[in-house]
Structure 1
């Protein structure tokens, strides 16, 4: 399955994408680390990236998460990841959205486009009623991505996620299926 705009597309990753995923993680290790859970050095191996893709396939088959690679249309370069995870069906029909983008491409509106595409998938294909996202308060770029995609700020989840060994607050956002949102 491929979802596309004029500039980007995203699709499920395959094991053949593991080298490109590893390259993305290596290029952005220092950039991603302040925003992610602590990752051991083994995370930055081809074996681990292949294992992640296999796990994503299993989780998708079990309706637990939907993980995508984000690519430039013109050259098929893997530039990011986007996931819908913590899937809860009856009675909530909701999930969380997470994403990362190569630091070289940030600030260009790419992730805002990708978020809108992901919402189209979440509501129109996966049948979710609500999509949530949490962002550390100092991550202004990510907050802007969510706002541009139509998410509404709902509050602060205090000490919500342990990032690099420290419990961090997260500003919580959500969007409902019936909410007005920009289309991709």
Structure 2
């Protein structure tokens, strides 16, 4: 299985054996992640559901509609987060939407920025995408910094864009193009 190495982390696609680590990541960060993602059913927090999510991700990769990777520490192989390209659109768009989450114990240490840069390399060089978009809640200052450090440009505000925990939330919209110098 191909790994994409950074300085302190690597990315690789998920396989079924990752289900236990995925479940631990989700359970340990449940309160944090729940502030930023649509409400998850209780069944999401089971091994069976995590295996189903992995199988769905593998299928999306085969169909060229989505790409999901675990963020692993190089030294320990510990799963500390996830990063993905969702809704891949090919001709004439050649674009996708990026999302990520990182274990709270590993935040504010540069891991998310490193993961985003690795994913951009995959997106622009291997997948030949032209544009990557990302939305972030205006209150998520850490994630805004990650996107800006990686070279994303703020494009505007999508009002009441996503329903999270029963409420419509605004998202700042960011994007980066292949020609924007993301790997500089």
TM-score bin (small chain):
over 0.9
Counterparts of 1:91 and 1:181 in 2: how far apart (Å)? 22
- 1:151 paired to 2:152: yes
In the TM superposition, what are the counterparts of 1:43-62 in structure 2 within 5 Å?
A: 43-62=44-63
Counterparts of 1:37 and 1:182 in 2: how far apart (Å)? 32
TM-score (norm 1): 0.98
Counterparts of 1:11 and 1:151 in 2: how far apart (Å)? 23
Counterparts of 2:106 and 2:167 in 1: how far apart (Å)? 28
CA RMSD of aligned residues (A): 0.7
TM-score (norm 2): 0.98
1:161 maps to 162
Counterparts of 1:107 and 1:57 in 2: how far apart (Å)? 30
2:75 maps to 74
C-alpha distance after superposition, 1:45-89 (max 9, x if no partner)? 000000000000001101110000000000000000000011111
Counterparts of 1:76 and 1:153 in 2: how far apart (Å)? 33
C-alpha distance after superposition, 1:122-143 (max 9, x if no partner)? 0000110000000000000000
Q: Secondary structure of 1:35's match?
A: coil
Figure out how many residues of one structure are paired with residues of the other and give that number. 183
Unmatched 5+ stretches in structure 2: none
Structure 1 stretches of 4+ moved >3 Å: none
1:139 maps to 140
2:129 maps to 128
